[in-house]
Amino acid sequence: MSGVWTLAEFREDRINSVSYELLAWGRSLADTLKVELSSVILGCEIKDVESLFDHGSDIVYKVDDKRVEHFLPDTYSNIIFSLVKKYDPQIIIASATTYGRTIMPVLSTKLNTGLTADCTKLEIGDDGTLLQTRPAIGGNVMATIRTQTRLQMATVRPRSKKPISYDKSQRKIIVPEIEDELFKSAYRWIKFERDESTDLPIQEADVVISGGRGMRDEKNFEMLYALAKELNGVVGASRTAVDMGWIPYSHQVGLSGKTVSPHLYMAFGISGAIQHIAGMSSSDIVIAVNTDPDAPIFNVADFGIVGDATEILPELLKALGDKNE
């Protein structure tokens, strides 16, 4: 029996930071259960495996091969399936990224086990089973879920826990032998086209600066980019702003867009429709700027300004600029 596993992500030549957040969750579970914590990582010319130990792993299962350079759901799930059969973990967690949300249901189906989605809290119950808490129905409901099979699997919402540093690691790297057969894939990977507009996906950002219809036009969004730059954040948007063509869909926050839980969320000219709030209510700090004192966004704000966003923003940028001089 080999304890708790986390699926680390190696993409575009680096280990994704969400892999370390996952280890923070994994560590607390493994410590409670008094078992080992492992990372499973697949990729080609994987770098910086040591950092997984520094953030909580005792053991790393490493599959470093040209044939798994890109995410191929069948190859990846076949390989991880074979590792699970051989090493028998009791809990597997992955981040609720496009990788985790694809590999985990494919894998859990093959393993005949349950899977809980997009959890914001994981803990071990009195009987030693995993209690998985997750928001559903647009954040209106929180459900705590238990998996009846011995192997328990969950995806975890990015940014739901801060990475930790760990110095008690055994630093054991296991390079399992994988049969050639398992590398066969039905997928032909062609290429990856990087987005010009963002560096960081909005779900992974510490600070999200969002604009809505109240920003009035696309040009005014430039002020949001400037503020995002100032605060090391990224720009998000309401659906209306996306529908207006002011910003691509990948920036949409809400029920039919992305769910974000940054440390700071700022909403400029966003009314705060329930479908928007569904995507940002788990942010630590919410600041809203809106001309309408009765805008519902103020109900979920920690700080609000009743005012014109297009007047506030230039002044705010100026004040922040002055401060830095």
Ligand X SMILES: Cc1cc2nc3c(=O)[nH]c(=O)nc-3n(C[C@H](O)[C@H](O)[C@H](O)COP(=O)(O)OP(=O)(O)OC[C@H]3O[C@@H](n4cnc5c(N)ncnc54)[C@H](O)[C@@H]3O)c2cc1C
Q: Which of 43, 135, 163, 212 binds other proteins (CB under 8 A)?
A: 135
Minimum CB separation of residue 234 from other proteins in Å reads 11
Residue 170 interacting with other proteins (CB under 8 A): no
Q: Which does 198 bind (CB under 5 to 8 A by kind): ligand X, other proteins, none?
A: other proteins
Q: Containing H/E element for 153?
A: strand 152-156
Residue 90 interacting with other proteins (CB under 8 A): no
Residue 216 near residue 313 (C-beta atoms within 8 A): no
Of 256, 268, 254, the residue nearest 225 (C-alpha): 268
Site for other proteins in 143-162 (CB under 8 A): 143-149
Q: Containing H/E element for 130?
A: strand 130-136
Task: Tell me the C-alpha distance between 318 and 322, whole Å.
Answer: 6
User: Secondary structure of 263-312 in the HEC alphabet?
Assistant: CEEEEECCCCCHHHHCCCCCCCEEEEEECCCCCHHHHHCCEEEECCHHHH
Minimum CB separation of residue 120 from ligand X in Å reads 12
Nearest residue (CB) to ligand X, 131 versus 289: 289
Minimum CB separation of residue 230 from other proteins in Å reads 9
Nearest residue (CB) to ligand X, 169 versus 290: 290
Nearest residue (CB) to other proteins, 143 versus 175: 143
Q: Edge to edge, what strands does the sheet with 172-174 contain?
A: 115-119, 152-156, 91-95, 4-7, 37-43, 59-64, 172-174
Nearest residue (CB) to other proteins, 52 versus 117: 117
- Which range, of 23-31, 41-49, 60-68, 250-258, touches other proteins by CB under 8 A? 250-258
Round the CA-based radius of gyration of the chain to a whole number and report it. 21
Residue 66 interacting with other proteins (CB under 8 A): no
Q: Which does 31 bind (CB under 5 to 8 A by kind): ligand X, other proteins, none?
A: none
